[in-house]
Each structure stands twice: as C-alpha cells, then as structure tokens.
Structure 1
Amino acid sequence: MTDVLLVEDDPLLREATQLSLERYGYGVRTASDGHAGLALFHDRAPDVVVVDVMLPRLGGVSVVRRIRAVSRLPMLMISARTDPVDVILGLEAGADDYLTKPYDIPVLVARIRAALRRTADTAPSEPPPHATRLRFGDLTVDTASMDVHREGRLLELTPTERRLVLEFAAEPGVVLSRTVLLERVWDYACGGDARVVDVHVKRLRAKIGRERIVTVRGFGYKLVP
C-alpha cells in the first residue's frame, strides 16, 4: 500500500482528503502543522508527501525544503494561493508539483500517481548491456543508476532533476522544447505550465553548471556536449 503523508491545517479538508485517498487504496497519515508533519516523516518516511503552503508553526515551503535536504521522495504542494511567485517558491524549495485549491480528488490522485511514476526506482538490479556512463566535460551521467557526478562528486538531485538530466543527456546538443520536456518529464501533470520547466532548469543549472544547459530563445533548452 502506498503511504501518503498529508500535512493540512484545515480540519475539514484534511479529513475529507484523507477519507477520499483511502477510498483509492492509499494509506494516509495526517498532520495539522509543519512541525508535526516533519515528526511523522522522520518517524516513518512515506512514499509521497502532500503539504499545504500555509501552515501554522512551520510553513509548507520550509517543510518541503527540510525534507528535500534528506530525501528524494516525491512531494506535492497544495494551496489556495495562485500567485506565480508562490508556485515558484514551492518548486524552488524542492516540490515536484503544485496544485491549487479547491481541487478535485481525482486530479490530486492523478498528480500523486504521476509523481510516483516519475520518481519510481527504475534502476534494475543488474545493469542491462546498453547501460552506459555518459560524459559531458566535468559531468558524468549514469543512465542505469541515474546518478550524476560533477568533477567526481555525486550531486544531490531531486527525482525531477534526474529525469531532466536523462532527457538532456539522451540527446546532447539537440534543442528540447518546453512542450517536449513537459510531456516526457511531467506527463503534463503540471497542467502544461511552461514555467515549471523554467524553474526546474534553473535549479538544475545551479547544480551542474550554468554553461552546461543553454537557452535557445523561442525554442527551448539544450545540453552542451
């Protein structure tokens, strides 16, 4: 059973979401504030975290940032706030997706499933014959383990950043449009918002080097071999 950690301070919405997710077969643990959510996370790591942005004691962005510092599990932020700045802050903190309230439970479930698909451990127990290590200057991408090294140092990447790297590494020098990246990395789960791509590419550049991913204005991005 997939274990969901739901951190939501609204008691009615928290209970309604919990009951609905349980009907879909998920195991759900809930917390009403940020500190309680972190305590549940450290007590037993869930498979996915759904966290509200506006929380008492410790805000949702801080919760996401602290979890992301120690874990690669998928996280979704939910909020009644639709300002692009709030969306960007949530994604910059390490969230994989952002869903605005009010939301339909089937949509939330679809987002959870998409996040779990994207972050599933796809590395086989024995690397297939075609698995290779791709090198791009000081950057090494292992297509089997999905590990990325820079100057020999293992980079701490989120699941979404790993998938982005793999897409770029599979076609070095080829311009990938935002639409293509949305389809391949997010399955359009973010609603087709190209800003999601821009935010994650910015975060990825900070880790692998700004010069490694080039913006081709009006078209998209490409990895410099």
Structure 2
Amino acid sequence: MHGVWGLGLGRGKPWLPSRIAHKPKPLRQLTESFTPPKHYNDHPPFRRRQYRFLGTPPTSHKSPNITMSNVVVNVSSDLLWAITRNNSSYIVKRGVGNERVTFSKEPLNLTNKHSRKHSGLVNEKAVGVQANENGGVTLITKKSHEKYGSKPASLYDTTAFSKNKSQRKTYAAIVNRVAKKHYRPDLRQEAVARASAIKRSQRPVKATPASKPRGVKAKAAAEKA
C-alpha cells in the first residue's frame, strides 16, 4: 500500500504513468466521434483550442459572412440548355406523334417556342414583351450577369409604353433597345410582332353593323313596308 499510494501523486490517485492512465485517442477516432458546436465562430479563442484537431482555423474570432447572395456562379448557357431542354416546368406539349409541338411558358420568350434561340431562361441576353394592365406594352430585358447575377430583383430592366403612345413610336423604341444597341438584333422582328399583336388585342371590339338588303331584296323590303 505504501509503495503504491505514497509516492507524492496525491491522495486517492493510483500510481500509474500519465501516458498510460490518460492515453490519447487517435485523431481519426476523435474526428468521427466528436463534432464542434453549431456556433463555432461565436466561441472565444480559448474555448476553440479544443477543436483545432478538426481542421478549423482558429486564427480569427469572426469569419466573413459568405452567403449565396454574394457568390456568383458562372454557368455556361449551353450547359443550362442541355439541362432544361427536356426537363423544365415551362414546357407545354401539344399534339400527338409527328404533329407534336413543344411550346414554352417563359415570360421572356417572344414566340413561346421551346428553342435555344428564344429561351429567356438560358440566354444571358433575353427580351420579353408583356401587356400592361391599363393598356400598352412593357419591354423587359436582362442586365449583365456579371454585375446583377447575384441580385435577381435588379436583374431585369423594364420599359413601359402607355396605350396613348402611337404605335410607330412604340415600335421604334423597341427596335432601338433590341437591335440598334447590338443587344439582340436577331429578335427584332419577333419583338415588334409580339408588341403589334398585343396592341391589336387591346383595341375595343366594334359591333358588326347589320347588312342592308340590296337589289331584289331591297325592292321586296320596300314593297312590304
């Protein structure tokens, strides 16, 4: 008893070397059995020393706030088209067999055809023409993805044309925005055609006047009267 407990190691403590009594676990076993708390960066440095073996750098107390809003991911338009060509919620299929046609409900699709050229979801530069609630049309274009790619609310540029504006001025403004500034000159005709169709549909429908009898029918009607 004296030889075991009387070696100056403290009362009640067994006489065993520290390397045997407190044998550390392997690093791999520690990382698998222990995970740091959720708010790791909120802990002061002296509390975070015990987590150094997990590979988290404890150099700074606060880490930068990295979110998806300030991280811009550059994805090729061809890759997006390969993904959404046959899998998209905007696809509408009509017809059977060889007469089957695929349309698209994308807001920035001028012809509503599901194609690489007219797709407003895939192309970095897209044009859309929509009808206003009080008449007239609105031209919608995409801004630069490099500047506004992480800001969806500011990604689109809209220009409204009232119903009182003449058709020539409306079409000229659309051509200037789409073609003359080298934005999407290949969509000039489609943009003007869609704006013209919307303006035509907004005209009030006039009642068809009753046809007047002519010739023999007119003489017969006059005799009866």
Please, what TM-score do these two structures have when normalized by structure 2? 0.30
Higher relative contact order (CA 8 A, sep 6+): 1
Q: TM-score, normalised by structure 1?
A: 0.30
Between Structure 1 and Structure 2, which shows a larger proportion of strand residues?
1
Structure number with bigger Rg:
2
